[in-house]
């Protein structure tokens, strides 16, 4: 029978897990920012149905969300030396090439889902509001920022929270290219000490607490948005 030794988590192995957890948080935060920015832009442009941009946005969304995130991570990591000039590769390596490749891949992948969430949220808002804003002289982006976004946030917040949880869990795929996030450190502990069960239990607890915290934060934000709406009403 297997005998658990939890004391191993208090030594160097515990320090490795803590450092891995910090990298996981950094990776998730950076990828989330990229996903939100790209997803919002592509979602709005696809909703606007601007002729030349419509097929481009459709191709971007369908390509990104219908290819596995692990494949995208491997693709951007190994193909960057072919796509980018050598000078750019040298600069990226100074900042951690594998880490940046994981951010880019996860951000691109989840931005496609964010784009569809944004487009669906905009479709839920009566289009007459957009037409009325255009009629009084507001530009496209002024209409989006001043009229549509305040309503959009309340509509899409639950879906964005779910996407954030999904992105956070997908950061574990970065171990495939050597990013020393928490799952990578758990695997290293298993190789070095043969105590992988204890390490993976700690990793499981970390992801569970983190994802539940994100869901709880989303619930609090949704209640604040709803309260603000009732006050305005």
Mean pLDDT along residues 193-202: 93
Does the structure show a pLDDT above 60 at 233?
Answer: no
Percent of the chain having pLDDT more than 70?
97
Tell me what pLDDT residue 229 has: 60
What CATH architecture is 11-232?
Orthogonal Bundle (1.10)
Distance from chain centroid for Cα 132: 34
Give domain limits for the chain. 11-232
Does the structure show a pLDDT above 80 at 1?
Answer: no
For the record, the structure tokens of 35 come out as: 């996903």
Q: What is the pLDDT of residues 8-18, one digit of tens each?
A: 898 899 999 99
């Amino acid at each position: 029978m297997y005998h658990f030794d939890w004391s191993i988590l208090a030594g160097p192995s515990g320090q490795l897990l803590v450092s891995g957890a910090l990298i996981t948080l950094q990776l998730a935060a950076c990828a989330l920012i990229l996903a939100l920015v790209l997803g919002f832009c592509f979602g709005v442009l696809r909703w606007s149905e601007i002729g030349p941009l419509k097929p481009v946005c459709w191709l971007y969304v369908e390509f990104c969300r219908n290819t596995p995130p692990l494949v995208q991570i491997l693709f951007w990591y190994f193909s960057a030396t072919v796509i980018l000039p050598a000078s750019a590769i040298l600069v990226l390596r100074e900042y951690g090439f594998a880490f940046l490749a994981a951010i880019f891949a996860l951000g691109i992948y989840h931005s496609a889902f964010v784009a569809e969430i944004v487009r669906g949220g905009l479709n839920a808002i009566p289009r007459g509001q957009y037409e009325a804003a255009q009629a009084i002289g507001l530009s496209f982006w002024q209409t989006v920022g001043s009229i549509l976004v305040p309503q959009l946030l309340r509509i899409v917040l639950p879906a964005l929270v779910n996407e954030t949880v999904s992105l956070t869990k997908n950061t574990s795929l970065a171990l495939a290219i050597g990013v020393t996030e928490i799952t990578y450190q758990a695997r290293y502990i298993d190789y070095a000490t043969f105590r992988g069960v204890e390490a993976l239990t700690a990793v499981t607890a970390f992801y569970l607490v983190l994802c539940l915290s994100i869901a709880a934060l989303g619930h609090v934000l949704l209640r604040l948005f709803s309260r603000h709406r009732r006050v305005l009403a």
